[in-house]
Chain A
Amino acid sequence: MSISWDILKSPELEERACRCLIEPGLEVYVLVKKGYRKKYAIFSTRFGSIDSRFQVEGSDQVIDVPDGVAHFLEHKLFEDEQGDVMERFAALGASPNAFTTFTHTTYLFSGTENFPDCLELLLDFVQEPYFTRETVQKEQGIIGQEIRMYQDHPQWRVFFNLLEALYALHPVRKDITGSLESIARITPELLYDCYRTFYHPSNMALFVVGDVDPRQVGEQVAANLARRNYRPLGEIRRFYPEEPPAVNRTRVSQEMVVSQPILHLGFKDAEAAGLTGEELLRRELAMDLLLSIIFAPSEPLYQELYEEGLIDDRFDAGYEAENTYAFTLIGGETRDPELLYQRLMEAIHRQRRRGIPQETFERHRRQHLGEYIRRFNSLEFIANNYLAYRFRGADFFAVPALLKQLKREEVESLLNSQLQEEQHALSLVLPRPG
């Protein structure tokens, strides 16, 4: 069995990763981290909460699934005919976990010992589904409690309420966990339908990081997949509703048991929908720079708002972009949401009039570069981000080079086209009276 490897280098980080493609189409990445005891591996599929309508090439059937299926499936893979997967990882001294995002589902373990056995177990349990009526029903109780936990979580609510306000139709507006009603409709058959579509190796990727031998990883994965007799899978088509460029609602609010109001101000970026790969990454970096130039603690706006008690040190601004949606989010806790809202909108206008000085641009660029490098201490950060960007068609290692290429004018032009009045929506969580 011969596997051919590509080498991906990041000179800025003094890191290199190897990549290979294993039949029938699984991308495998290994980044060797000398000196680390921990090994961390993630096995990810391009199946997230927004994939609720899809079709596989060669089939005439379009499948619609209830909200929360990807997350439900994530929970259920931890159980197979032999019982609980958690216990087998524990016997190997490793710690397993999983998470579901809007666009993908990731299974993982971290551990210092027994790496080949742990990797084998990860590959096995993800590739061996076992769903019965009884186990599905049991999980509905557990996930029901997870949903309730998030319903009491003010930061979570203000965020999803904002997405509902920004998006009229796109499924990003729905909770990743689904609702109590939607998960009640999940059946073993439905889970198997999703599984057969999205858990084919050609829709997945594996990333291993730690002090391991890439060749052995490649051979082990190839042997594991070879014995499963996969047939090729046609292309998966995902259908998303035609999302209008305008926001769905300009304002939403909810009352909860909180000490003071929480504000999230969002801007829908309809222009970015459809961008992929390097273009998308470049826009993300430019938007992140723009947002820190306006809202970071090193700028006068933040300091004024902080001194007036309108924000606290958790105030933040960020940009999130996927292939089918993109938005900016600004906010935090505040004593006076109306005043903060007004001040934030004014600040954007003011910045537009003033433009972006070169010195400011350079300072923020420097900060972003350093922060990116610092975070490479974390094996989890490396693997999770590398694959998340890979799934968007982008190379996470390209960040330093792209940052260096970015021009002040490019960020300034986004300042003029983005963060516009008509793209915004406001989400508030307000203290319950009494």
Chain B
Amino acid sequence: MLQQSVTYQLADGMRLVFIPTDKFKTVSLALFLHLELRADLATRAALLSAVLERGSRRYPDSLTLRRELEQLYGAELSTDIHKKGERHLISCTLEMVHSRFVGEGEELFRRGVSILGGIIGDPLLEKGSFREEYVAQEKEHLAQEIKGLINDKAQYALERCLSKMCQGERYGVYKLGRLEDLEQITPASLGQFYRELVPRCPIDLYMVGDLDPEKVLRLVEEELRIQRDGLSASLPPTEVRAEVEKVRYYEESMPVQQSKLVLGYRTGTSFDSEDYYPLLMYNGILGGFPHSKLFVNVREKASLAYYVYSRLERLKGLMVIAAGIEAGEYQKALGIIEKQVEAMARGEISPAEMENTRRSLINALRVQEDSPYPLINAHLEGSIGGRIETVDEMVRAIERVTPEEIARVARKVQLDTVYLLRGEEGGEASA
């Protein structure tokens, strides 16, 4: 959390976080609807996010909406769907140029807030149903997007590994949902989903820019009218499992040039735990940066990969390691990766690795303040994970981490699932 952010609890259970700053050219808005990540809800949530973007009562079709955005000097509007831990979020973001740079007044900002307010709070419902052709078209588009995961092989491999690893956990649910659920959804059932969701779900609205707080509050009250029950439902916390019975190995073959190796680990450390900062250091030393053990040993020394990294899914207490390799080098690459993880568990960390990682992490935190959406995202994840801190507090926490604490965290990290997308014969490039 930024020192200068101001949080307002609005009367109807929504929350407004305003970050005043005059360093950007823009005013950035982001609204989030929070849902529980659940297999039976996920597909409807993903479809709802897409259908909402098609228009509101005031701008009932895309042409009218897109032209109004152009009149606002090319404001960028989009709805999207996110998975953060075992929470599912529908977002609506709007970024517009600050009126000062285009010789306009406050009215420009009001029009922006009004668009966003309409998309979320006053959608195009007819007798409680969404417009039939919008729903049909967005079902088709979402189906293509679900099938399209295969187009990005690295992302596909990552999703496959995590879904295998978290079978039976809510986290195993894909954020876009499932094709078979999509068929069941009707304009009426989606309308009902919206009408049941929006009055109760937690809603956060973020605004970043050079604005007067009182005007912001007034505009939000006037332009963002969402039917609310007056309080937000509480959502179940994300479950962080620590135990691994036995490492599971999966392999899939595909006619591609490069094989993708993904290893899923359980860290047993949640975002709100006191071990979180040691874990952050652990991941940084192991594979978060180009000076990290994985990059140095898998890429620079063994020349086996172009990309190799480790990354935390901090809201779920997971870590993944991923690399793009030659199929024939699978065992060798796996061996080198496991050796780095073992070295971490033995506490083999040089003073240079400690310091370089500390500084790199602090830098990564500080630069978030220089871009509106990373700033919003950091605040959002902090509030979901139950860790509300200022950047200075985070920096101090990183500065305090000791090698002993990292070694303690390292011993909790356990390999759970190894997934290989194996490049097979026939993957030769042919134009």
Interface residues of A (CB under 8 A from B): 12-14, 33-38, 84, 86-87, 89-96, 110-113, 138-143, 145-146, 148-149, 151-154, 157, 161, 164, 252, 254-255, 257-260, 296-300, 303, 306-307, 309, 312-313, 333, 335, 363-364, 366-371, 373-374, 376-379, 432
Question: 5 A-B Cβ contacts within 8 A?
Answer: A86-B295, A87-B352, A148-B257, A309-B144, A367-B74
Q: Is B204 an interface residue (CB 8 A)?
A: no
Binds A, one of B63-71, B180-188, B214-222, B265-273: B63-71
Interchain nearest-CB distance for B4 vs A (Å):
11
Decide if A152 touches B363 in the complex (CB within 8 Å).
no
* The residue from B74, B141, B299, B359 contacting A91, defined by CB atoms under 8 A apart: B359
Q: Which of B169-198 contact A (CB under 8 A)?
A: none
Interchain nearest-CB distance for A97 vs B (Å):
8
Which chain A residues border B150 with CB–CB below 8 Å? 257-259
What bracket does the count of chain B residues touching chain A fall in?
Answer: 35 or more
* Cα(A93)–Cα(B398), bound, Å: 13
Decide if B357 touches A90 in the complex (CB within 8 Å).
yes
Given A90-B290, A95-B363, A307-B133, A145 contacting B258 (CB threshold 8 A): yes
B 291-305 to A, binary, CB cutoff 8 A, 1 in contact else 0? 100011001100111
Q: Nearest 4 CB-CB pairs, A to B?
A: A370-B73, A93-B359, A141-B303, A35-B23
Q: Is B32 an interface residue (CB 8 A)?
A: no
Decide if A260 touches B366 in the complex (CB within 8 Å).
no
Q: Is B213 an interface residue (CB 8 A)?
A: no
Which chain A residues border B291 with CB–CB below 8 Å? 84, 86-87, 89-90
B 247-287 to A, binary, CB cutoff 8 A, 1 in contact else 0? 00000001111100000000000000000000000000000
B 344-388 to A, binary, CB cutoff 8 A, 1 in contact else 0? 000000001001110110111011011110000000000000000
Decide if A36 touches B370 in the complex (CB within 8 Å).
yes
* The residue from A13, A139, A154 contacting B101, defined by CB atoms under 8 A apart: A13
Decide if B356 touches A373 in the complex (CB within 8 Å).
no
Q: Which of B101-148 contact A (CB under 8 A)?
A: 101-102, 133, 137, 140-141, 144-145, 147-148
Decide if B362 touches A93 in the complex (CB within 8 Å).
yes
Which chain A residues border B140 with CB–CB below 8 Å? 309
* Nearest B residue (CB) for A255: B430
Q: Is B62 an interface residue (CB 8 A)?
A: yes
Supply 19 further A-B pairs (C-beta < 8 A) apart from A90-B360, A95-B360, A149-B306: A90-B291, A90-B359, A91-B359, A111-B363, A139-B303, A143-B306, A145-B324, A148-B258, A149-B258, A153-B152, A255-B430, A297-B66, A298-B66, A306-B62, A366-B71, A368-B74, A374-B74, A374-B76, A376-B25
Q: Which of B401-431 contact A (CB under 8 A)?
A: 427, 429-431
Which chain B residues border A378 with CB–CB below 8 Å? 371
Given A306-B62, A333-B148, A364 contacting B70 (CB threshold 8 A): yes
* The residue from A37, A146, A303, A312 contacting B63, defined by CB atoms under 8 A apart: A303
* Cα(A145)–Cα(B258), bound, Å: 7
Q: Is B96 an interface residue (CB 8 A)?
A: yes
* Nearest B residue (CB) for A378: B371
Decide if A145 touches B325 in the complex (CB within 8 Å).
yes
Interchain nearest-CB distance for B251 vs A (Å):
16
Q: Which of B295-325 contact A (CB under 8 A)?
A: 295-296, 299-300, 303-307, 324-325
Q: Is B158 an interface residue (CB 8 A)?
A: no
Which chain A residues border B149 with CB–CB below 8 Å? 259
* Nearest B residue (CB) for A296: B66
Q: Is B90 an interface residue (CB 8 A)?
A: no
* Cα(A373)–Cα(B141), bound, Å: 32
Interchain nearest-CB distance for A272 vs B (Å):
25
Interchain nearest-CB distance for A179 vs B (Å):
9
Interface residues of B (CB under 8 A from A): 21-26, 61-63, 66-67, 69-76, 95-97, 101-102, 133, 137, 140-141, 144-145, 147-154, 254-258, 289-291, 295-296, 299-300, 303-307, 324-326, 352, 355-357, 359-360, 362-364, 366-367, 369-372, 427, 429-431
* Nearest A residue (CB) for B291: A90
Decide if B102 touches A370 in the complex (CB within 8 Å).
yes
Among A90, A148, A151, A299, chain B packs the most CB atoms within 10 A around the CB of: A90
Decide if A37 touches B289 in the complex (CB within 8 Å).
no
Among B303, B370, B371, B431, chain A packs the most CB atoms within 10 A around the CB of: B370
Decide if B97 touches A374 in the complex (CB within 8 Å).
yes
* Nearest B residue (CB) for A307: B137
* Cα(A296)–Cα(B76), bound, Å: 13
Interchain nearest-CB distance for B211 vs A (Å):
15
Interchain nearest-CB distance for A366 vs B (Å):
6
Decide if B73 touches A366 in the complex (CB within 8 Å).
yes
Decide if A306 touches B431 in the complex (CB within 8 Å).
no
Decide if B73 touches A37 in the complex (CB within 8 Å).
no
Decide if B305 touches A35 in the complex (CB within 8 Å).
no
Interchain nearest-CB distance for A313 vs B (Å):
8
Interchain nearest-CB distance for A81 vs B (Å):
15
* The residue from B25, B257, B429 contacting A373, defined by CB atoms under 8 A apart: B25
Interchain nearest-CB distance for B234 vs A (Å):
34
Which chain B residues border A369 with CB–CB below 8 Å? 73-74, 102
Which chain B residues border A377 with CB–CB below 8 Å? 24-26, 371-372
Interchain nearest-CB distance for B355 vs A (Å):
7
* The residue from B24, B133, B151, B359 contacting A258, defined by CB atoms under 8 A apart: B151
Decide if A93 touches B74 in the complex (CB within 8 Å).
no
Given A13-B25, A91-B356, A38 contacting B370 (CB threshold 8 A): yes
Decide if A309 touches B26 in the complex (CB within 8 Å).
no
Which chain B residues border A138 with CB–CB below 8 Å? 300, 303
Which chain B residues border A260 with CB–CB below 8 Å? 144, 147-148
Which chain A residues border B95 with CB–CB below 8 Å? 374
Interchain nearest-CB distance for A401 vs B (Å):
14
Interchain nearest-CB distance for A295 vs B (Å):
12
Interchain nearest-CB distance for B395 vs A (Å):
10
Which chain B residues border A161 with CB–CB below 8 Å? 431
